[in-house]
Structure formats: structure tokens, C-alpha cells
Structure 1
Amino acid sequence: MSEAPARPRRSPVRLLRLLPVLAIMALLFGVPWWALVASTTDWPVGVIVGGTVVFVAAFVALPLLMVLGHGRRHLDWAAALGDKLLGAVWVLFVWTLVGDVLRLALVVAGVHNPERSRIVAAFIVIVVAALLVWGYVEAMRLPRIKNVDITIPRLGAGLSGLRVVMVTDTHFGPIERSGWSARVADAVNELDADIVCHVGDIADGSVAQREKQAAPLATMRAQLARVYVTGNHEYFGEAQGWLDYMTDIGWDSLHNRHLVVERGGDKLVVVGVDDATARSSGLIGHGADLAEALAGADPTLPVLLLAHQPKQVPQAVQAGVDLQISGHTHGGQIWPFNFLVRLDQPVVAGLSKHGERTQLYTSRGTGFWGPPFRIFAPSEITLISLHAG
């Protein structure tokens, strides 16, 4: 009688990798649990038990939903629930820490426990609930139009007043947003743009999964050009598929290449590069290459560069680019995540100067990623008006 095959043992390295994740989760859930349920609030036993059960259930549900939603199964309902839970616990954790400021003020004012801890707990619950409702409305609303005027000294007079409309980070995903996508397209068309740009992160998923939400992109209009570059999220799925899709619906996919637009006898080079993560994706023929993208372009002409991540700006400075437009940061999306974004990117949002010539405009993004909340980081459709120096 043959022996049953031995069950594969989990790699110690894999288990060690889980420890930081478990530690982070313990902090995210444990700190609010302690402040709201188990510390010096002196709640009745039933409240303590009930609150603990809720926190334990959420602690178990989050990784399960993330695996089902963002793992091999790609279950949209699980991803949507998991993302909402992740956003909620992050906001709860942050404002529990902020609540300690109120706690200190109450100590100074002579308020004793359990009244002091109960006041802080009530503050946390009310503020977090209000922020989550407001943040959800902000994430799902039609983005505001952000008007930006940028002077480019090398821009010819014939191109002065050129209107460049920028959308980025639409992140079509597990929450069905076809109606939102159509409203964004209508808002873009009302701006009567000369150039419309999508600066990456169209969707989380394949073209087959998200085509219904992306379809309104085909209706966006521009007088001179509609151009698109990949973001890092395209490389989580099928970057070449999205490049081909955008080309099929009439956009120019700037896969390390450029085109030239002309108005009033003056010309502008519009160039696009792959996302900064493209080369490490292993996808053959992909990888940001600004030199290749600019090959054959007249070096005396002004250059508008589409590059998904702001941290691609050093290459733009080296190449003498006049203006780079980027997304990726979402402006932090959920405060105070903007401070963490700043550790990885030179700019979180807005217009900045780099080197002697290059300017960079970083959008807060048109959609959202993951948790459907935007807190102190509003979305935008950007209308950039270019002016001659």
C-alpha cells in the first residue's frame, strides 16, 4: 500500500513575509479597538463584547476579501467590499490618533475617566462616519474642472492659448462606473480642447473586463489630437491590450513615440513614454525611453511630455522638455496619505519647476484607486491653457 504524498510545507521565508502585514493589520485594527472599546471607557460588558466581535470579524474579513477580490479569482464584489473596508479602517486608525489630541486637551481641562474616554470615542466615531460619507461622495462625483495657466517661453505665438485637457487615473474597476465615465466624457467635450490626454491607469483589469466602463473614452473630442500613455496599473494586467484598445477607438497611443501638432504656423511636439515600472514588468518592447520617443523630433520645437509618474521628471529635465504632465499620486487620495506619497514622488499635486526649462504639472487624478474615498484630495479634470512667453 503506497504512502500518501506528504503535504507541501510552507516556506519559512513566505511566513516571514506575512509578519509585517500582520503587524500592520494589528495596528490598524488594534489601536481603534483599544480606544473605542477596551481602554478606560468603562462600557457595559455587552458593549465591550459586541465591539470586540465587530473588530475581530473585520480583521478576518479584510485579508479574505482582498485575496478573493485581487487574487487569482478576481471577484469584483469581494474587491469592492475589501477596498471599502480597507479605506474605512485607515480613516478610523488615523482619526483615533488625532483623537489623542482631544484626550490631552480634556486632561488639561480636568475631565476624568470614563467621561474623558467616552467623549474621545464619540468624537472619533462621529468624525470618521462624516468623513467616510463625504469621502465617498467626493470619489463618486463628477470631478471638478481645474483651470491651470502655464507659460512656455519657447511656445510660438500661433499656439498661445492652446487648450490641453488632461484626464488620468480613471481606474475603472470592480465598482461599475459606466455612467460616471460617460459624464466625464461629456465634461471633457464641453471644454472644446485642442489636445485631450489620458495619462495612464485607465483601469484595474483587462480590456474584456472593463471595456464597458472605458467605452465613453471613444466619444471624447479634440481639435488636434487625443493621446494616451500607460500607467503602472496597466502593467498589472495587459498594457499592450490597453494600448491597442485606445488605438482602435481613435486615440494616438504614445508608446515611446511622439507626434507634432500645428496651429497658426507654429508647432508643438507631443511625446509620450511608458510608465516607470514598464521595464521591470518583463513585457517585451516596453520600458520608458524618452530618447527613443523624441527620435527625429526638431530640437528647436517646444515639447509637451506625457509621463504617468512625476518621478520621471529627471529624464524630462535632461532632454530639455518644456512641460511634463503626470498623474499617479491622486494627491494622496485619503489624508494623510499624501505625506507617504511624497516619500516616493518629487511632487504630490500642482505645478512645479525643475531645472532651468522644465515645468511639471501633477494632477490629483480623475478617478480613484481601491477604497472609494477621497478625503482632502479632490479629483479633477485639468484644463491647461498654454501661453507663449
Structure 2
Amino acid sequence: MPVGESVESRPRRRASRAVRFALIIGAILLLLFGVPWWTLIASGNDWPTPVLVTGTIVAALALVLFPVLMFAGHGRRHHDVPAKIADATLGVVWVLFVWSIVGQILTAILWAAGVGAPARYRIATLVVTAVALVLLLWGYAEAMRVPRIRRADVTIDRLGRGLDGLRLVLITDTHYGPIDRARWSRGVTAAVNALRPDIVAHTGDIADGEVAQRREQAAPLADIEASLARVYVTGNHEYFSGAQRWVEHMASLGWEALHNRHLVVTRDGDSLVVAGVDDRTAAGSGVPGHHADHEAALAGADPSLPVLLLAHQPAQVGGAVAHGVDLQISGHTHGGQIWPFHYLVRLDQPVLHGLSRHGDRTQLYTSRGTGFWGPPFRVFAPSEITLLTLRA
């Protein structure tokens, strides 16, 4: 093929991909907004005309404005007001979408039971609305509360007796964002300090926004106390929000930013390698020097010592297995955050939450996350501050 034709074909391919992407997103949005509209407004409810018209207009406006607000709120400039509206809308419409499907099943059951129209449709509408309202109110309370403490003992065969009982506290996915959660952040700090940790680890997704925007919310991290180390690695959301600036800011708050590096902690004559790697999306972010590099992270480490690895995503556990890591700690999944989104998370991640074993040596602990992303709701996926007690 002549060079000119090859060059000309690239814009056409890019345009084709863009059109395909837009069509997929459009279809998803039509389903998300259309199913609740059909169940609650149209279908066989036989609402008075003003109700039908008003409901249809509201649904259509939400469908059109949602992507605009989402882009304005979560684009490069992180405008907080449109982000708040878009995030809340996403949470509400997801819950309504899920339970509207259940409502359609309920309608079929009522039809089989001999319940006539429009009564069966209105019963389903009432049930869907009531369940969604209860779940959203409860989910909001769950998202905004200081997380409960989740405790687990982790036995590491190579751990020396001097480190038996070491208290490792994991926080992750704080996602400081458009809702000001400085008070919540102070509550998290108090809860962590009450656990008297030896090591505190933050496995990324600190914030949605630049350091300058989220400085006040992140400030209480400076007051977290640990007898041996406070360590941090980047998550995927740092690469939307100035990853290197967050690495530097965490260092200024007194945290060791494990940017593909490690440190060694020692207690009572026994030592533990504490290493960290960048998020797996780092290489494609365009941020110079950022990529997940297990070799660099463990370079120079004594191979006889046990290794604790911080990596944002559970999907990075393959690298941990290949490099003989004893325990990887991760976040990212949020435990699905709003049921039943966890089924989609499992398409991308090997584990949703909790302790799991991979290969002969490596264990993985995956946190549900300390905060939340986007929609300020947590439904059947509670947040957590994790206390891992390491056992020899």
C-alpha cells in the first residue's frame, strides 16, 4: 500500500472507532434510562396524560444531560457541581435500572396470578420505587460513614518471630472528590490511629482531582501514626489527576511513596521487605517514569526475606506470584460498591474482596475500599478499614 493511503486510513480508522464507541455508550445510556422509564412511567400503568408526559420529559432530559454533566465533572478540569449531579444521577439510575428489571419479572408473576391491568403494573411500580428509595437512603448512609474495621489474621511462612503479631492497617480508594469529606477524612485518621498500627498502607486512588483541589480533604493523612512505616502506591485514578504531584504530595505528608521501590522494616531482629508498584494503567498514562515494575521494586532486596507488596489492583497479582511475593494488598474493586455491579467487576479482576491464595507462596488481600467513587452510595458492599495481623 502506498504511504499516502496508509496515512489517510489512520484518521478513518480512528473516526470509525469513535463512532463505534459513541454508539455503544448511546445504547448503554438508552437501556439505563429507558428501562426505568418503561417500568415506572410507560408500560401498562395507564397514568393520566400529564403524569406520562412529565415523566417522559424528565427521563429524556436526564438522558441528554447526564453525559454532558459527567464529561464536565470528570474531565480534565474536575468541575465539582456537575460532577455531584452526574454522580448522584448515575447511582439513582443504576438502582432504578436493576430493580425495574425485577419489576418486570414481578409484573409477569402478577399476570400469571390473574391480577389485571393496570393494577399489576402499578403494584410493580410501587414496589420498585419503594425498594429503590430504601436502598438509596441506606446506601448513602453507608457511603458517608466512617468505615467499620475489618480484621483478619494472615499467616506468612517466612515471617520471622520478631514480626509475629505485626499490625498492618490498609486504607485504599479514599477518592476525595466533589463532595467535601474533610471531616470524614479526620474520622478515618482517628479510627486508624486507634488500632495502634505498625504499618499503614494506602494502595491508591487517593482522590478524583488535583492536589490543589483536594488538599484539605487529604490533609488528615499527615496525622496518621505508625510505629514502623506509612507507605503508599498510585491507583488508576491518580493518572486522571496528576499522579506525580500526588506522589510528591504524599511524601510531603510524611508517607513513603513506593514508586516501584521498596524499604525494609525491622523489629526484634527480624525484617520484612515492604515494596510497591505503580498501577497497571500507569504505562499507558503518558506520565514519564510511571509503569508497574516489579523488578525495580524488589531490586537489591534480600531474597530470603518475606515480601509485602502494595499494588492497587488485584489483577496485578500475577506479577506478585512471578516474583515470589508473600502477601499483596490491593483495593480498586470497591466490592462492587452498588449491587449487582460486582458481577461486572469480576469480569476484570480475579478477586472481589477478602483473602485469597495464588500460586504456592503468594496471598492476596483485597479491600472493599475506604471511600467510594462517583455515586455516593454503597449497596451490599460496605466500606472498610482493614486491620491485618501478620502471623509467623
Aligned to 2:9: none
TM-score of the aligned structures, taking structure 1 as reference length: 0.95
Residue among 318, 341, 363 paired with 1:359: 363
Q: Does 1:350 align with 2:354?
A: yes
Alignment of 1:35-50 (within 5 A): 35-50=39-54
Aligned to 1:206: 210
Instruction: Give CA-to-partner distance per residue, 1:233-254, whole Å, 9 cap, x none.
Output: 1111211111111111111110
Instruction: Give CA-to-partner distance per residue, 1:130-154, whole Å, 9 cap, x none.
Output: 1111111111000000001111111
Residue among 266, 272, 277 paired with 1:268: 272
Which stretch of the first structure deviates more once superposed, 355-364 or 10-19? 10-19
- TM-aligned CA deviation for residue 87 of structure 1: 1.0
**In the alignment, residue 354 of structure 1 is paired with which amino acid?**
H
Q: Does 1:135 align with 2:139?
A: yes
Separation of aligned partners in 2, 1:247 and 1:337: 34
> Using a 3 Å threshold, how does the CA distance of structure 1 residues 298 and 11 change in structure 2: closer, same or farther?
closer
Paired residues of 2:87 and 2:375 also in contact (CA < 8 A) = yes
SS in 2 for 1:369: coil
Aligned to 1:122: 126
Query: How many correspondences in the alignment?
Result: 379
Separation of aligned partners in 2, 1:12 and 1:314: 34
Aligned to 2:24: 20
Aligned to 1:313: 317
Separation of aligned partners in 2, 1:367 and 1:13: 34
Question: Where does structure 1 differ by over 4 angstroms across 4 or more consecutive aligned residues?
Answer: 10-13
Paired residues of 2:370 and 2:384 also in contact (CA < 8 A) = yes
Residue among 54, 63, 67 paired with 2:67: 63
Separation of aligned partners in 2, 1:29 and 1:324: 39
Residue among 184, 192, 197 paired with 1:193: 197
Separation of aligned partners in 2, 1:170 and 1:59: 29
Instruction: Give CA-to-partner distance per residue, 1:9-29, whole Å, 9 cap, x none.
Output: x95654443211111111111
Separation of aligned partners in 1, 2:20 and 2:343: 28
SS in 1 for 2:41: helix
SS in 2 for 1:38: coil
Paired residues of 2:39 and 2:103 also in contact (CA < 8 A) = no
Instruction: Give CA-to-partner distance per residue, 1:291-312, whole Å, 9 cap, x none.
Output: 1111111111111000000000
Separation of aligned partners in 1, 2:189 and 2:345: 28
Residue among 242, 245, 250 paired with 1:246: 250
Alignment of 1:1-389 (within 5 A): 14-388=18-392
Separation of aligned partners in 2, 1:233 and 1:366: 15
Aligned to 1:5: none
Which stretch of the first structure deviates more once superposed, 280-289 or 118-127? 280-289
**In the alignment, residue 110 of structure 2 is paired with which amino acid?**
L
Separation of aligned partners in 2, 1:257 and 1:24: 41
Separation of aligned partners in 2, 1:71 and 1:308: 22
Aligned to 2:8: none
> Using a 3 Å threshold, how does the CA distance of structure 1 residues 386 and 13 change in structure 2: closer, same or farther?
closer
Instruction: Give CA-to-partner distance per residue, 1:24-79, whole Å, 9 cap, x none.
Output: 11111111111111111111112111211221121122122112212244320110
> Using a 3 Å threshold, how does the CA distance of structure 1 residues 93 and 228 change in structure 2: closer, same or farther?
same
SS in 2 for 1:359: strand
- TM-aligned CA deviation for residue 188 of structure 1: 0.4
Instruction: Give CA-to-partner distance per residue, 1:304-346, whole Å, 9 cap, x none.
Output: 0000000000110111111000000000001111000000000
Separation of aligned partners in 2, 1:358 and 1:104: 49
* Aligned alpha-carbon RMSD (Å): 1.3
Separation of aligned partners in 1, 2:306 and 2:77: 47
Separation of aligned partners in 2, 1:289 and 1:21: 33
- TM-aligned CA deviation for residue 105 of structure 1: 2.3
SS in 2 for 1:181: helix
Separation of aligned partners in 1, 2:354 and 2:77: 38
SS in 1 for 2:179: coil
TM-score of the aligned structures, taking structure 2 as reference length: 0.94
Separation of aligned partners in 1, 2:306 and 2:233: 19
Separation of aligned partners in 1, 2:20 and 2:362: 44
- TM-aligned CA deviation for residue 257 of structure 1: 0.6
Separation of aligned partners in 1, 2:17 and 2:254: 48
- TM-aligned CA deviation for residue 110 of structure 1: 1.6
Which stretch of the first structure deviates more once superposed, 312-321 or 45-54? 45-54
Separation of aligned partners in 1, 2:271 and 2:202: 21
Paired residues of 2:39 and 2:104 also in contact (CA < 8 A) = no
Percent identity over the alignment is 64
- TM-aligned CA deviation for residue 109 of structure 1: 1.8
